[in-house]
Amino acid sequence: MTYIYIYVYIKNISSNRTSLATDTTTATTTTKNDNNNGKKWNEILERQFTEEEKKQLHSPNFAQLEPIQKEVLSGMKMICADSFAKLDKNSDMLKDSRIYRYIQGQMFNMKDAKKSLEQAITWRLENNVEEIEQKIINNNGKPGFMSVEEYPYYDLMVKVWPAISFVDGYGKNINLQVDNDGHPIVINQIGMSDPTNITEGHINEEQATLFMIHMAAGRVLHLTKLSEERKEIVRCFCIQDLNGLGMKHLSSQTRYFIKLFIRIMSENFPEVMAKIRVINAPWAFTVAWKMIKPLLHPRIIKKIKILGKGNYQEEILKDVPVNQLPKCYGGNLDILMPALVSEGSDVDEITISRSSMEMIHFPINDITKSKLSFQFQCNSGDITLIFEYFPCILDDSKEFEELYEQIMDAYEVKRVERKDSGVINLSIPNEEEKHGGKGIVSGYVIIKFDNSFSWLKSKTVKYNINAIDS
């Protein structure tokens, strides 16, 4: 028995020594691996790419990445592994095209890209953005992503930040519209925004922020979907319309919210814009630009081109096919814009009672040289429009009503059945003899707002009329 005990005792000592030696070897190996990883991470973070390498890093094809593109993508996944581990396994942030936006957004400075990405992940977790994106994706079990009309506080915020992203299903009757490079078109009608919902306290900072997070997240989810389908980074062609920008947009409270919205998008959703065209910039833009420019990354500033007021169409159409651009911006796409008719002295408003019709008139000096551009937006529901032409000699001494009652020779030119908004370009046929005009080329365009089909609802319509030289 004694021999057996001594044998077992000696065997246990030997086993413990072996185990201790194994543990020491494992610890040494782990330390060595950690050191190797740390060294590799530092190499990735400190890597300085040449201008030639940066050109190679641009425009990745995710179906077949170049070796240097694989290197930066795998490197970013390695050095940000701890932050990525905090996200849901199905998070959109884990997709290659989404990660690459942060790398490219920092001009391939890996240290800055890591900082930017990790700060964005922290912000996402603090603001429940993962849950928001999943809600947009799930869309209550319906096909496609949640539409913008279903975002929280949409009815209040659409007036504060009227914007539209032309991607399939973004909003009611919205389809994909792209520039010549295939980038979806985004139009922000900032100048036509009405900040009173903010300045009068109808919506607070928390509510406004929640809506803007939904808007930014939804836009990027659509871009990620397109990027996955095309195997490339898809961005937006953005038109910033400043028509109507004035002092009401430059109050301290409004400036605070504008800065907040820009910071949300630029810091947490990088590389979303391919090109930015600022149109209809008034004098107030100088003040606004001084406020906005410091918030933007130099890479974004390089994408911005400021165009003139009212003469931007030719420049825009160099980048965007005419059939992809809304009519109110010089294209031929008939689409409801969030703020189609801008607020201002050139905008009129008319209310049509239920089951009734109202009429307005507009003088034209020479129908052979002019055509009419008519923009309208119905506040709820739709309206039928009837355009008539009344040829007569314009006489300052006589009111329209007097001439109209005397001659009663108007004829219908165009009828638009039950639409909620649109831009209508109207050319008057030169048929004076046929209609009794006897060579008269002047007269009145009569526009009738027909709400006779609606037994329950009155309608308020904002409209703008301009005579354009042919």
CATH architecture of the domain with range 129-329:
3-Layer(aba) Sandwich (3.40)
Q: Which residue has the higher pLDDT, 16 or 173?
A: 173
Taking only the tens place, the pLDDT of each residue in 352-403 is 999 999 999 888 888 777 778 888 888 767 899 999 988 888 877 678 777 7
Average pLDDT over residues 70-91: 94
Check residue 14 and give its pLDDT.
47
- Whether pLDDT at 333 is above 90: no
Distance CA(55)–CA(162), nearest Å, equals 36
Q: Which residue has the higher pLDDT, 193 or 74?
A: 74
Distance CA(149)–CA(155), nearest Å, equals 8
CATH of domain 348-469: 2.60.120.680
Q: Which amino acid is at 249?
A: H
- The residues with which 239 forms a beta bridge, in sequence order, are 187, 277
Taking only the tens place, the pLDDT of each residue in 312-321 is 888 999 999 9
Cα separations in angstroms, 431 against 182, 400, 439: 44, 21, 9
Query: Strands 411-419 and 383-391, how do they pair?
Result: antiparallel
Distance CA(358)–CA(352), nearest Å, equals 6
Average pLDDT over residues 219-241: 96
Domains of the chain, residue spans: 51-126, 129-329, 348-469
Structure-token match 């900072």, residue found: 205
Dihedral (Cα; 15, 20, 21, 24), 10-degree rounding:
160
Residue 270 CB neighbours (<10 A): 23
Residues 6+ apart with CB under 8 A from 400: 361, 363, 444
Taking only the tens place, the pLDDT of each residue in 413-445 is 899 998 877 778 788 776 544 444 456 788 889
- Whether pLDDT at 5 is above 50: no
Check residue 469 and give its pLDDT.
62
Distance CA(244)–CA(254), nearest Å, equals 15
Check residue 6 and give its pLDDT.
37
Check residue 28 and give its pLDDT.
44
Check residue 348 and give its pLDDT.
81
Taking only the tens place, the pLDDT of each residue in 204-226 is 989 999 999 999 999 999 999 99
- Whether pLDDT at 411 is above 80: yes
Average pLDDT over residues 39-47: 78
Distance CA(188)–CA(170), nearest Å, equals 14
Beta strands in 290-407 (DSSP E): 304-306, 348-352, 357-364, 370-378, 383-391
SS3 406: helix
Check residue 368 and give its pLDDT.
78
Distance CA(275)–CA(302), nearest Å, equals 9
Distance CA(293)–CA(363), nearest Å, equals 44
- Whether pLDDT at 238 is above 90: yes
What is the pLDDT of the chain when averaged over all its residues?
83
- Which segment, 104-108, 253-257, 409-413, is predicted with the most confidence on average? 104-108
Do residues 118 and 95 make contact, with C-beta atoms less than 8 angstroms apart?
no
- pTM score above 0.75: no
Average pLDDT over residues 91-105: 96
| Confidence band of 340 (pLDDT split at 50, 70, 90) | low
Question: What percent of the chain has a predicted confidence (pLDDT) above 70?
Answer: 85
Taking only the tens place, the pLDDT of each residue in 272-282 is 999 999 998 87
Check residue 31 and give its pLDDT.
44
Q: Which has the closest alpha carbon to 350: 224, 226, 459, 259?
A: 459
- Whether pLDDT at 109 is above 80: yes
Distance CA(406)–CA(444), nearest Å, equals 14
Check residue 309 and give its pLDDT.
72
Distance CA(47)–CA(29), nearest Å, equals 27
Average pLDDT over residues 324-333: 87
- Whether pLDDT at 468 is above 60: yes
Structure-token match 């109110």, residue found: 328
Average pLDDT over residues 316-337: 88
Q: Is the dihedral of CA 389, 394, 400, 401 positive or negative?
A: negative
Taking only the tens place, the pLDDT of each residue in 242-297 is 887 777 777 788 878 888 888 888 889 999 999 999 998 876 677 677 777 887 77
